[in-house]
Each structure stands twice: as C-alpha cells, then as structure tokens.
C-alpha cells in the first residue's frame, strides 16, 4: 500500500503559503465563494491593466465562470470592500 498525498491547488499563493492553505482547507476554514470572488477581481484588474474594456473583461471572465451572469460578475468586481 502506498501513501498518496493529494496536493491541493492554492489559489491564494500570492497571499499565503501552500502549507497554510492546505491546513485551512483541511479544517474547512476556506470560504470558496470568497476565494472565487478574489480570483475574479484579480483577473479583472489584470485585464483592465492590459487595456481591455470593462465589458470585454467581464465577458472574458464569464468564459471561465459560465454559471455567473454578467451583472453578477460586475457586482463582484466593483463591490466596495467593507
């Protein structure tokens, strides 16, 4: 019998280490929706920095998240941090 280590992809690698992410995830302390929204905002900022229009940037993001409506993504990228 071999021990298999399941490696979890760390979508927050620019913020926390893989080890910390895996620890938090193993204890169900990761809010997957918040992580998704963070990734969407990050992608939107990258696209806008590349001179892509806001509408086109949202359409590009919708290709990755087809279950989200245009207005939902717009709300995510323009939401004010609390």
Using pLDDT thresholds of 50, 70 and 90, give the confidence band for residue 1: very low
On whether residue 4 sits in a domain, the answer given is no
On whether residue 65 sits in a domain, the answer given is yes
In this predicted model, what pLDDT tens digit does every residue of 2-41 receive, in sequence order? Answer: 455 556 689 999 999 999 999 999 999 999 999 999 999 9
On whether residue 18 sits in a domain, the answer given is no
This prediction has a pTM of 0.83
Q: Is the pLDDT of residue 59 over 90?
A: yes
On whether residue 72 sits in a domain, the answer given is yes
Q: Residue 30 and residue 12: Cα distance in Å, rounded?
A: 11
On whether residue 36 sits in a domain, the answer given is yes
Q: What is the DSSP letter of 80?
A: P
Q: Is the pLDDT of residue 61 over 70?
A: yes
Instruction: Provide the residue range defining the domain that includes 71.
Output: 31-78
Q: Is the pLDDT of residue 80 over 90?
A: no
Crossing angle between the packed helical segments 70-78 and 32-49, to the nearest 10 degrees:
80
Per-residue confidence (pLDDT) for residue 81, from 0 to 100: 62
């Amino acid at each position: 019998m071999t021990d298999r280590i399941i490696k979890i992809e760390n979508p927050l690698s620019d913020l926390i280490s893989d080890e910390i992410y895996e620890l938090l995830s193993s204890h169900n302390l990761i809010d997957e929706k918040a992580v998704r929204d963070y990734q969407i905002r990050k992608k939107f900022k990258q696209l806008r920095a590349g001179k892509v229009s806001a509408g086109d940037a949202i359409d590009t993001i919708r290709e990755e998240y087809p279950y989200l409506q245009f207005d939902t993504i717009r709300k995510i990228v323009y939401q004010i941090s609390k």
